[in-house]
Chains A and B, each alone.
Chain A
Amino acid sequence: MTHAIEVHDLTKIYPSSGQGLLAVDHINFTVEQGEVFGFLGPNGAGKSTTQRMLTTLLTPTEGQLLILGYDLADNAYPAKRQIGLVPEESNVYTELTAWDNLMFTGRLYRMSKTDRVVRAEELLKDFGLWEKKDVKAEEFSKGMKRRLSIAMAIIHKPALLFLDEPTPGLDVQSARTIQNLIRQLSSEGTTVFMTTHQIEEANQLCDRVAIINHGKIAAIDTPEKLKQTFQQVQSVEISFTVSFDDLEEKLATLPEVSTVLKIGDKWRLYTESPPALLPHLIKFTEKENLDIVSLNTLAPSLEDVFLQITGQQIGSVSEEPSSQKLGMKRKKGK
């Protein structure tokens, strides 16, 4: 079976600034048909750049791209017919009604009138937009525009769907609708390529995840295997009744602790081996006369894996990820 996506040494240097900006640096990966493939990375990592090259919107500086077996450099047309695209910003025609937006896209993809009408009705109903079908999209909320732009991307039943950050900025309800839709499309055989920086979303939706950072792919695997590979980012979470100034430094000097992170009223101690750390931790609390409120050991989450690779702090979104400036204290020599 041909791969849905095959990428060889894909590179993009934006020529705009001075000697050029290297946004994607010789990446290689394949996506199998029927897979939900997550492209995970911090801001500026090169996710959108990659997706725009995969959807013919951007010319690569170097490398080869095969979409459903067609080389985009020689013969993009058959590939274009079979892909659907949801870009980062919902790009609906705000001057047109929801219905007209769908009709226009259906025509552009050469669907027959009956197919268009049946499919548009089905999608609008599924997406909870049927009542608003004759309302101009300029009156839509952000979540409604997002749903409409996804409906427009799948009206022609593409074999391969690209989604650039499908859910940020949406409420839980809208985000869940979209996530369920991705699951449903996948169960019907659509291949999905989605970029995201929401780790939990990738964890729950994706068969495989690539982690991209500074234009390079740092890891590709299933979410579970990624977690296993990063056993050193297991952690122990502890909270005390009191806190004092140099508590963080002291925790960081405990044997077996690699990193200390304060999360709300809890301390998270990263370690390769929680069983080895626990006796030291107990001894420490006795010595310092601390009362423990709660104590948990945590298996590595995909978030931890991601942070380990990109050196970012949990929940932080930074242009220039670096472990030093983000309040993550690493032990010297580690």
Chain B
Amino acid sequence: MKNFWTRIIEELSQAWIVTLKDIKVYYLRPGMIMFGFLMPFFMFFSFSVKREMSAGDGMARLLALTIFFTAAAAGPFIIPTERRLGTYDRLLAAPMSLLTLLLGKIAVGAFFAIAVSSIAVIIGILFLDASIAQPILMIAGIFIGSFTFSTMGLIFGSIPTRNPGDVQMPSTLIRWVLLFISGVFVPLSEMSTVARGISYISPLTYSQDLMNHAVLGTGELALWLNLSVLFLSGVIFLLPSIKLHKRGRVLGY
């Protein structure tokens, strides 16, 4: 039993080492800044122009958007880049489990999203003069959303390829689709029944609703439902990544 726990602690610290290394190597890369940092802000401002909404409403949406786009940007960029440079082999051959490696990579995207959403929070408070109904819930929501969407991005990063361009397209496309069917642009309360039914497919809907709870103090869906859907989809998103990594090992990537 002691061995078991030592091993768990070892693996967790290895995941952390991978995360730290990636933060050092990738956070300031143009690709990350472009897709992870500028894009959500750009989208938010272009969509909020000429639209009446309260500061709190705007901030809840900005947060949901940044978490979603930023967290999912890291995986599809970093892993194919590392496969091309051969540095991914270093990690795959190291004495740690695949899950540990994936956890490390998930944390890279998640921390990036947490950092960028902190900026969104500051902008919201300073410039939009927003007030936050439940700060603790907001922080928890940022964390859980960041990890879930980073895990989603990891699926694309796990596709066996050495070219980040190959996965950038499908990953961006799917993120756009999930964004448009979600309750970010059109609030759930204003949607038709059909649109609302479709919006439940997108995990972003729950993240947005969670942010509404946190910032505005009210949401369309139950809080526990938002939290559990986000948590469960994070876990489920891991499965295709594991499968794709196994496939990559058969194909020779």
**Which A50-95 residues have C-beta < 8 A from chain B?**
52, 55-59, 77, 80-81, 83, 85, 87-95
Q: Which residues of the partner chain A approach B97 to less than 8 Å between Cβ atoms?
A: 77
Main secondary structure of the interface of A (DSSP, over half): loop
Q: Which residues of the partner chain B approach A57 to less than 8 Å between Cβ atoms?
A: 89, 92-93, 249
B93 close to A104 (CB less than 8 A): no
In the complex, the chain B residue whose C-beta lies closest to that of A91 is B86
Given A16-B251, A59-B250, are A77 and B95 neighbors across the interface (CB < 8 Å)? Answer: yes
Given A57-B92, A85-B93, A95-B24, are A108 and B252 neighbors across the interface (CB < 8 Å)? Answer: no
Instruction: Give the Cβ gap from B142 to chain A, nearest Cβ, in Å.
Output: 28
Our count of residue pairs bridging A and B at CB distance below 8 angstroms stands at 73
Q: Which residues of the partner chain B approach A81 to less than 8 Å between Cβ atoms?
A: 95
Instruction: Give the Cβ gap from A71 to chain B, nearest Cβ, in Å.
Output: 16
A14 close to B86 (CB less than 8 A): no
Residue B243 is within 8 A (CB to CB) of chain A in the complex: no
B90 close to A105 (CB less than 8 A): yes
Given A108-B14, A110-B10, are A80 and B95 neighbors across the interface (CB < 8 Å)? Answer: yes
In the complex, the chain B residue whose C-beta lies closest to that of A49 is B252
Residue A284 is within 8 A (CB to CB) of chain B in the complex: no
Q: Select A80's contact among B17, B89, B94, beta carbons within 8 Å.
A: B94
What CA separation (Å) do A110 and B11 show in the bound complex?
A: 10
Q: Which residues of the partner chain A approach B251 to less than 8 Å between Cβ atoms?
A: 14-16
Given A14-B251, A100-B24, are A80 and B90 neighbors across the interface (CB < 8 Å)? Answer: no
In the complex, the chain B residue whose C-beta lies closest to that of A107 is B17
Instruction: Give the Cβ gap from A163 to chain B, nearest Cβ, in Å.
Output: 13
Residue B55 is within 8 A (CB to CB) of chain A in the complex: no
Q: Which residues of the partner chain A approach B95 to less than 8 Å between Cβ atoms?
A: 77, 80-81, 108-110
Residue B96 is within 8 A (CB to CB) of chain A in the complex: yes
B93 close to A93 (CB less than 8 A): no
In the complex, the chain B residue whose C-beta lies closest to that of A55 is B93
Q: Select B85's contact among A80, A83, A85, A91, beta carbons within 8 Å.
A: A91
Residue A96 is within 8 A (CB to CB) of chain B in the complex: yes
What CA separation (Å) do A108 and B10 show in the bound complex?
A: 10
Instruction: Give the Cβ gap from A10 to chain B, nearest Cβ, in Å.
Output: 15
Q: State the interface size on chain A (CB cutoff 8 A).
A: 33
Instruction: Give the Cβ gap from A55 to chain B, nearest Cβ, in Å.
Output: 5
Instruction: Give the Cβ gap from A126 to chain B, nearest Cβ, in Å.
Output: 21
What 1/0 mask marks residues of chain A from 198 to 228 whose CB sits below 8 Å from any chain B CB? Answer: 0000000000000000000000000000000
What CA separation (Å) do A58 and B92 show in the bound complex?
A: 10
What CA separation (Å) do A323 and B147 show in the bound complex?
A: 59
**Which B237-253 residues have C-beta < 8 A from chain A?**
246, 249-252
- Most chain A CB atoms below 10 A, which of B26, B92, B95, B246: B95
In the complex, the chain A residue whose C-beta lies closest to that of B249 is A59
Given A15-B251, A107-B17, are A85 and B89 neighbors across the interface (CB < 8 Å)? Answer: yes
Given A15-B251, A57-B92, A80-B94, are A108 and B17 neighbors across the interface (CB < 8 Å)? Answer: yes
Residue B228 is within 8 A (CB to CB) of chain A in the complex: no
A58 close to B249 (CB less than 8 A): yes
Q: Select B24's contact among A56, A77, A83, A96, beta carbons within 8 Å.
A: A96
A91 close to B249 (CB less than 8 A): no
Given A95-B25, A100-B24, are A56 and B10 neighbors across the interface (CB < 8 Å)? Answer: no
Residue B87 is within 8 A (CB to CB) of chain A in the complex: yes
What 1/0 mask marks residues of chain B from 1 to 28 whose CB sits below 8 Å from any chain A CB? Answer: 0000000001000100110010011100
Given A56-B93, A96-B24, A104-B17, are A89 and B86 neighbors across the interface (CB < 8 Å)? Answer: yes
Cross-chain pairs A/B with CB under 8 angstroms, 22 sampled = A14-B251, A15-B251, A57-B249, A58-B252, A80-B95, A85-B93, A87-B86, A89-B86, A90-B86, A91-B87, A91-B89, A93-B21, A93-B87, A94-B85, A95-B25, A95-B26, A96-B24, A107-B14, A108-B90, A109-B95, A110-B10, A110-B14
Which residues on B are within 8 Å of A, measured CB to CB?
Answer: 10, 14, 17-18, 21, 24-26, 85-87, 89-97, 246, 249-252
Additional pairs, 5, CB under 8 Å, beyond known A14-B252, A58-B252, A88-B86: A52-B252, A57-B249, A90-B86, A91-B85, A109-B94
